[in-house]
Amino acid sequence: MQLSVEHRNLLFTGITVPFLLFFSLFFLSLFSVSLSVSAWLRRRVIARRQLTPLRCVVAYVAGVCMVICGVAPLAVAQPNESIRARLQQATLGELSLDEFAQGLIRSVEQSPAALDEAQSLKIDIPGFDEVLGELLLERVERALITQASERVAPLETLARHALAPASRFRQAIERRFSLARKLEGLGDIGDTGVLTRIRQELANAAEQQIFAGRVQALVLEAARAKQSANEPDRALAVLAAGAKGADGVVLEQTAAEIVTRWAEQPGIGGRIASAEWALDEGKVQDFIQHLLIVRPELEPPFITIFSERAVQLAEAGKGMSAEDALLWVVTRRPDPNAQNDELRLRILRSATHPDSRPFVGSLVQSLQERGALSVRDKFRLTMSGYFGAGKRYFLFLVFFCLFAGVVAVLLRPALILRLIRQRAAKGSRRPPKARAKSRAERRAEKRGSGYLHQTEAEDEYSRLLAVFGLRDGATEAQIKKAYREAVKKAHPDAAAGGAPVDEEVFQELKKVHDRIMEIRGSWFGSRR
């Protein structure tokens, strides 16, 4: 189920005020950090090495490009080495038979193209049949036990092609596939404790009619056992026996005890994942429905079991099965319900598999309609791509803030120095506004000498100080320091390692400083 256009545009229309405030504060703090780092670089590096701001910007852009070029290959899946090349290495003895066989099986499991390549090759290496046969038999048994059906067919095809027809490993694999097809209607059976005997009995049976009754007896024996390797296998045995129409009274009592005890144990989710579970089988679900009718007190334990099952299936990428498990819970605990919303949020936070995206999309829409999504959940879902192009916009703004902060800090000193030079060259025809003086300062000036002639000198003095970026209250030490810094930047000797400097600018700065000192030494000397 896909998100509607309205919900895909939620990033721009439906996000709450706290969510927008979070974005604003985040980018503001990011911009501040960028300014601080750039200022430190300018003080520590640029000033010492006489690097121009333009060179620093170019270096920054080059550094970002280098990082992107270095990280990009890591995000691209590296193609596996061809099977033909590994076969040549194994033929020459550069690669052991065990390593070649393991790599061949991994390639076939991961890629259909690898299976086609393997079928086009003729593998004739002494001893390879036994090595590959043992590994294939082990992998096939594991796939049958865990019911990884998507891995079974490629392994069967590889066994038929790579193993000799008379190979005992090939014959064993074919028998197991034949047995697996016969067991399709029996549901899943656990693989520990007493239930191991079920596997053995089934493996020794030739026809389905022979072992059907044995399954009933062994399942009941496992269900009634006082001790078992794990509770999921016992609970599963009970449900499988009920689906086959075993003794109802004994079975109901046993199911009530086992299911209740299992649901109360911590870590139920892990045990569900490790068990061979048959809750998707129609007959098992019918038996569960019968149990809920005759024993209503079993509903909470079963809701717990199906809730954990929905979370585990969504995490494994089985979205349709997870949706069925969630529907089972919601049917018995109708909405609106805070526990159902909490279960949906748990599924959202754990479902990271790509195959679960359609199922997660329907959950997002349902939770959004109820207003149950928090700011954190919205941000995480935005980064996962469930809200349109939100992730791309976020990454773009991150790099833009970093770049803008660096450019602002690096170019600001150059712009200020350029403004000072322009004012000095023009004679400061447009002096800056003098700050408003306090009443105490005006009274002090009236009591000082030269009050009647101070206005003209005051305007000239303010204009001259503005050339160095100073105000009227600057001390003589501050004036000398500002003069030295301006001279250091504009001195002709500094042009040897940097850009050319106008001689007239240097002379103009010297005249401004001399005139300031002259005013301070005359009747206007009270500014010392």
Cβ atoms of 343 and 307 within 8 Å: the answer is yes
> How many domains, the chain?
4
Based on the fold, state whether residues 59 and 96 are members of the same structural domain. Answer: no
Q: Which residues contact 444 (CB under 8 A, 6 or more apart)?
A: none
Shared domain check, 397 and 250: no
Instruction: Find out whether 147 and 188 touch, Cβ atoms under 8 Å.
Output: yes
How many residues in the chain?
Answer: 528
- d(CA 400, CA 27) in angstroms, rounded, equals 10
Q: Residue 492 and residue 166: Cα distance in Å, rounded?
A: 94
Domain CATH number, residue 469: 1.10.287
Among residues 156, 186, 216, the one where a domain terminates is 186
Q: Tell me if 444 is assigned to some domain.
A: yes
C-beta of residue 462 within 8 angstroms of C-beta of residue 472: yes
Q: Within this chain, do residues 176 and 313 fall inside the same structural domain, yes or no?
A: no
Note if the pTM is more than 0.75: no
Angle CA 319–325–331, to nearest 5: 130
pLDDT score of 83: 75
In a domain, 56, yes or no: yes
Q: Answer yes or no: do 411 and 446 share one domain.
A: no
- How many angstroms separate the CA atoms of 262 and 279, rounded? 15
Kindly tell me the sign of the dihedral angle through the C-alpha atoms of 217, 219, 223, 227. Answer: positive
Task: Please list the pLDDT of the chain residue by residue as tens digits (528 residues).
Answer: 334 433 334 333 344 444 455 555 565 565 566 656 666 655 555 444 444 556 556 555 655 555 455 444 433 333 345 677 777 777 777 777 777 777 777 777 766 677 777 777 777 777 777 788 777 777 776 665 544 555 667 777 777 777 777 777 777 777 666 655 544 444 444 444 444 554 555 455 433 444 344 444 444 554 444 344 455 555 555 565 555 554 455 456 656 666 666 566 545 444 444 344 456 555 566 667 777 787 788 788 888 878 888 888 888 777 777 888 888 888 888 877 888 888 888 888 777 777 777 777 777 777 777 777 776 777 666 666 665 555 566 666 667 777 776 666 666 666 666 777 777 666 544 444 545 555 555 555 544 444 444 445 457 788 888 888 887 778 888 888 888 888 877 665 555 555 445 567 778 888 888 888 888 776 444 444
Pair (368, 233) in one structural domain = yes
Q: Which residues contact 38 (CB under 8 A, 6 or more apart)?
A: 405, 406, 408, 409, 410
Distance CA 7, CA 29 (A): 29
Residues 236 and 372 in one domain: yes
The boundaries of the domain holding residue 52 are: 1-65+389-416
CA dihedral in degrees (34, 39, 41, 44; nearest 10)? Answer: -160
The rounded distance, in Å, linking the Cα atoms of 132 and 204 is 25
Short-list 308, 388, 411, CA closest to 15:
388
Q: And the tokens for 37?
A: 């780092």
Residue 492 sits in the same domain as residue 464: yes
Q: Is residue 219 part of a domain?
A: yes
**Amino acid in the structure at residue 488:** K
Answer yes or no: do 278 and 363 share one domain. Answer: yes
- SS3 assignment, position 384: coil
Q: Which tokens in the block code for residue 237?
A: 């045995």
Residue 281 belongs to a domain: yes
Asked if residue 72 belongs to a domain, the reply is: no
Distance in angstroms (rounded) separating the CA atoms of residues 520 and 528: 7
One domain, residues 404 and 337: no
Among candidate residues 346, 504, 500, 312, the one with its CA nearest the CA of residue 422? 504
In a domain, 305, yes or no: yes
pLDDT at res. 406: 67
**Residue 422 within a domain:** no
* Judgement on whether residues 393 and 378 belong to the same structural domain of the protein: no
Look at residues 140, 159, 186 and tell me which one is the last residue of a structural domain: 186
Residues 102 and 121 in one domain: yes
Report long-range pairs for 510-517 (Cβ below 8 Å, ≥24 apart): 512/424, 512/464, 512/467, 512/468, 513/479, 513/483, 515/460, 515/464, 516/461, 516/464, 516/465, 516/479, 517/479
Determine, yes or no, domain membership for 74: no
- Write down which residue in 152, 186, 220 finishes a domain: 186
Q: Which residue, 459, 439, 464, 457, is CA-closest to 526?
A: 457
The answer to whether residues 111 and 221 belong to one domain is no
The whole-angstrom separation of Cα 438 and Cα 10 is 55
